[in-house]
Amino acid sequence: MRIDFTKYHIFSRISIYILALVLISIGIYHLVKPDDLLVYVPSFLPGGIKWAYLVGACFILVGFSFLANYYVKITSYLLAFFLFFFVLTVHLPNYLDAAMADMRIFALINILNNTAIGAFALHIAAGAHHQQLHFEESD
């Protein structure tokens, strides 16, 4: 029995579109309800509520990049960097400093969630050969 792997491309595109819609939704939430997210920004990060607006705008731009299939490679790398940065600077400190078990679990879920989405973004970037951004010949 021979498997035709060219049919799997449609599943790849659908998963990227789903991620794009999720990112746009999360981005809109960041812009509409930034005060709800301010409590998660550690005090050592300057800027306060500006982080919520910045993250929201970035998520929306990356989502539209994925939908339009433009600048996918660079936006995927930037999204991965952004998410890993937030794991280290926001979610991990929140996990370590949480006084209540519920907040600790919520921070852990955010760590795992952002790590998984960041890994998926790296996978998308690695597969975006048509995007004209090549760091190596094998990239």
What pLDDT is attached to residue 21?
97
Query: Contact at 8 Å (CB) between 77 and 121?
Result: yes
pLDDT by position in tens, the chain (length 139): 555 545 557 888 889 999 999 999 999 999 999 988 877 777 777 888 888 899 999 999 999 999 998 899 999 999 999 999 989 988 898 899 888 999 899 999 999 999 999 999 999 998 876 655 444 554 4
What pLDDT is attached to residue 26?
94
Query: Contact at 8 Å (CB) between 78 and 72?
Result: no
What pLDDT is attached to residue 139?
41
Return d(Cα 46, Cα 62) in angstroms, integer. 24
